[in-house]
Amino acid sequence: MTGKVTGSSKNMKLFSGRAHPELAQAVAKELKTELVPTTARDFANGEIFIRFEESVRGADCFVMQSHTQPLNKWLMEQLIMIDALKRGSAKRITAILPFYPYARQDKKHRGREPISARLVADLLLAAGADRIVSVDLHTDQIQGFFDGPVDHMHAMPILVDYIKNHYPIHNLAVVSPDAGRVKVAEKWAHELGGAPLAFVHKSRSTEVANQTVSNRVVGEVEGKDCILLDDMIDTGGTIAGAVRVLREAGAKSVVIACTHGVFSDPARERLSECGAKEIITTDTLPQSTEGWSNLTVLSIAPLLARTIHEIFENGSVTTLFETE
């Protein structure tokens, strides 16, 4: 039940916060184990109480939490869970954050601004986390914010496999929604048989959050089935604008692929009406296809389970996403 390894004193325990228990259950199923029973409740004033219903002394503990809305509550819950494990004498604590909160605030654009992604890393370390696992960080530099091992996993193989199985690879073009993600798009293009590459030139407002303007396409997309990719989609304004620009440039069709479907209002309305043939995402955050006509959700649980297994067995996490 608790993941004991035959002939070894090693003991793995898997814990889940309340934000996305379905994902944690799926990971536990992949690992052929069970989640540790946990009492979690809120006091009348909003304070969170956590207690684990079995001993964690000397255990290798993995704490999963998806940071969906209300994000700050679920972040605090994960910190409290980690603190409870530390005070319960856990041997090692790995915080699993499929979607890293505050990842977009990874640098200062102007004076008197915070670097909140670094603050989250400091909070996890202060709470007692020894290691972090996350999927498709907004920028690679976030790995350096945590003073300990960070396993940065990638959903690209899952998304690419789906695209290969559902779209003719000979007519694909890979499109980055901005110049900043061209390097990621190059990896996608390689995995998709050397597909041509393009990007959408855009400008972003420093005064208004979630406001960008897509201007024009750089690259050849006419007559192509375009794979428009991003790490996360929040309100959908950038991606919807990019779809419009691609269609105006003569794209045959546009398929959106992202790892983290945040989908804050009015994302569903924008993406359903923007002209995209399909929106593909993963379940790093809780998803529902209700009200969508073109949303596909792929499971990230097998990747997370393999990552946990490699960490527990002191294996190589890198081999899970390395390509030739």
Helix pair angle (301-312, 21-31), 10° resolution: 60
Tell me if 178 is assigned to a ligand binding site: yes
Q: DSSP readout, 202-240?
A: EEE-SSSTT-EEEEEEES--TT-EEEEEEEEESSSHHHH
Helix pair angle (116-127, 71-87), 10° resolution: 30
Tell me if 204 is assigned to a ligand binding site: yes
Strands 278-282 and 295-298: parallel
Q: Give CA torsion, residues 20, 21, 26, 32, to 10 deg.
A: 140
Tell me if 238 is assigned to a ligand binding site: yes
Residue whose pair of structure tokens reads 């498709």 in the numeric block: 136
Tell me if 237 is assigned to a ligand binding site: yes
Residue whose pair of structure tokens reads 């503990």 in the numeric block: 61
Cβ atoms of 122 and 246 closer than 8 Å = no
Tell me if 138 is assigned to a ligand binding site: yes
**CA atoms of 17 and 26, how far apart (whole Å):** 14
**Token pair for 291:** 């009200």
CA 244, chain centre distance (Å): 26
Tell me if 211 is assigned to a ligand binding site: no
Tell me if 236 is assigned to a ligand binding site: yes
Tell me if 46 is assigned to a ligand binding site: yes
Tell me if 235 is assigned to a ligand binding site: yes
Residue whose pair of structure tokens reads 């035959």 in the numeric block: 6
User: Which residue in the list 10, 29, 108, 202 is annotated as catalytic?
Assistant: 202
Nearest CA to 52 out of 20, 7, 112, 93 is that of 93
Nearest CA to 282 out of 261, 256, 305 is that of 261
**Token pair for 218:** 């750089």
Is 164 catalytic? The answer is no
Tell me if 283 is assigned to a ligand binding site: no
Binding residues for D-ribose 5-phosphate are 204, 230, 234-238
Binding residues: 45-47, 104-105, 138, 178, 204, 230, 234-238
Which positions are catalytic?
Answer: 202
Per the annotation, binding residues for ATP are 45-47, 104-105
Residue list for the binding site for Mg(2+): 138, 178
